[in-house]
Amino acid sequence: MVDVVRVALGVEYAGDAFEGWQSQRHGRTVQDVLESALARIAGAPVRLQVAGRTDTGVHATAQVAHFDTLAQRPLTAWVRGVNTYLPPTVVVRWACVVDEQFHARFLAYERAYRYILFNSPTRPAVLAGKVGWFHPALDESRMADAAALLVGKHDFSAFRASCCQSKTPVRVMYDAQVARVGDYLVMDFRANGFLHHMVRNLVGALVYIGKGYYPPAWLGEVMEGRDRVHAAPTFEAAGLYLCGVSYPPRWSLPGDGRIIAQPQIPLL
């Protein structure tokens, strides 16, 4: 009798090439193309479970997924072999065998997102779809002061999408930072979990503060009010990256269970 093998994968993809992670009938999602490639190697259908289901246009440098298979293959087959059948906009970075108790979604205790915003009078061209854009000058110090108010355990109802299916709006934000690198503003968020559109809604609020519409304290007031109506519009998906998912070290995933891969600001 052949035993079932559970394999964990580290995946990177350009989200502007897909209509989100989750499988759809039209097949134009990351899950669809990745499962199709895995099936070619496994010789049978494969179903993926993922750490975080990203929306249309959202990128990932360190997505984590797992699947079960009866196929006995070397790990290189799940990396180089699978990549042979993938489009250039998605790639498997690593693969490792885990035991049956591992679950890519339910065992992740921390996730990290980075938003890269091009703050320039003219829009990006080479990086179109890879960074967000806002043309008026933004005050990053005001934005950083506001972001610091997010740290801690809070009800983030004011920053969740109306279609969010999470059972609770309460999340623990471990870190939230804003920094400028030339014409780029880099916003980093690290929490035990995120609500639907939460990061993009936070970015929208921070941009309002950066352009002088409100003082930094306004962000805390909106958060305490727990009403989405009083927050800023959802910002575009282009500059958002899932760049870290953390697991307990016992699973021996690459990086001792802390999978962090930050998208870098290009030096053009």
| H-helix segments, the chain | 30-42, 75-76, 82-84, 140-148, 198-210, 217-225
Considering 55, 68, 139, 155, which one is annotated as catalytic? Answer: 55
Q: Please indicate whether residue 68 is annotated as part of the active site.
A: no
Assigned token pair, 9: 């994968």
- Annotate 192-233 with DSSP letters as a single string: S---TTHHHHHHHHHHHHHTTSS-THHHHHHHHHT-GGGSPP
Q: How far is CA 159 from CA 130, 199, 206, in A?
A: 23, 8, 12
* Cα–Cα distance measured from residue 106 to residue 35, given in angstroms and rounded to the nearest whole number: 20
* Cα–Cα distance measured from residue 70 to residue 64, given in angstroms and rounded to the nearest whole number: 20
- The helix-helix angle for 198-210 and 140-148 (nearest 10°) equals 130
Contact status, residue 35 vs residue 47, Cβ threshold 8 Å:
yes
Active site residues: 55
